[in-house]
Amino acid sequence: MSCESLLRAGIEQLQLTLSEEQILALLTYHQLLQDWNKAYNLTAIRDPEQMVIRHLVDSLSVVSHIRESDVVDLGTGAGLPGIVLAIVYPDKNYLLLDSNGKKTRFINQVRIELELANVKVAKSRAETYHPQQAYPAVTSRAFATLADSVSLLNELLAVGGKFYAMKGKLPDQEVEQLPTTYNLEKIQPITVPFLDEERHLVIIKRLA
């Protein structure tokens, strides 16, 4: 199966409705990731089909759960899930935050080539980034433990806002270590088409 067929089949299985323009943007992003990865080692995944499944389809599997209009993607890496969210929801705004200069340069290039006016990129560690105002939502994918992640959200996430952490296996022990200023709202099992591995979206609300 070609990468395009794989992506289209994944979108269909996830019951998402995307325009041809959005699918083309995802495929262009996929090609840019392959091209840049040869020189800059942005991801350990080299196989183009595995990139579609483990990066694009994996990120697409959570987009229906993250509906806030202003979102920070914490430790975005090569732009996951932030770039995918920005393509799916052109009317919402995304700040992609990472301390790795190679990765933020890549995301900036993607932003320019795909004309993603709803994406901002910041090269910074989370603990030293000071937004003008806190955001209603923060996402992360394979970033850090839940407790370590929420410790970085003091200025990023507004009180009452939600932290969406993409995880593999059910992180029971991590949930138990959350501080009392955060409340576990939901652990959503996620099925990623073509991937026979556990995935969960942990949704945590900031109380104070």
pLDDT value, residue 137: 98
Residue 116 has pLDDT above 90, yes or no: yes
Instruction: Please give the pLDDT value at position 144.
Output: 86
- How many angstroms separate the Cα of 37 from the Cα of each of 27, 43, 135, 190? 15, 7, 31, 27
What distance in Å separates the CA atoms of residue 195 and residue 208, rounded to the nearest whole number? 37
Would you say residue 120 has pLDDT above 90?
yes
Cα torsion for 50, 148, 135, 120, to the nearest 10°?
-50
Q: If you classify domain 63-206 with CATH, what class do you get?
A: alpha beta
Percentage of the residues of the chain whose pLDDT score is greater than 90: 95
CA dihedral 157, 163, 168, 170 (to 10 degrees): 130
pLDDT at 177 over 90: yes
Average pLDDT over residues 110-137: 96
Quote the CA–CA distance of 13 and 192 in Å, as a whole number. Answer: 9
Encode pLDDT of 17-45 as tens digits.
Answer: 999 999 999 999 999 999 999 999 899 99
Instruction: List the structure tokens of 10.
Output: 């994944």
- Using pLDDT thresholds of 50, 70 and 90, give the confidence band for residue 148: very high
How far apart, in whole angstroms, are the C-alpha atoms of residue 163 and residue 138?
A: 5
Residue 123 pairs in a beta bridge with 98
Residues 181, 74: Cα–Cα separation, whole Å? 19
pLDDT given at position 143: 81
pLDDT at 207: 97
pTM of the model: 0.97
Tokens representing 32 are 């840019």
Q: What is the pLDDT of residues 71-115, one digit of tens each?
A: 999 999 999 999 999 999 999 999 999 999 999 999 999 999 999
Interatomic CA distance for residues 24 and 31, integer angstroms = 10
Strands (E) in 12-109, as ranges, are: 70-74, 93-98
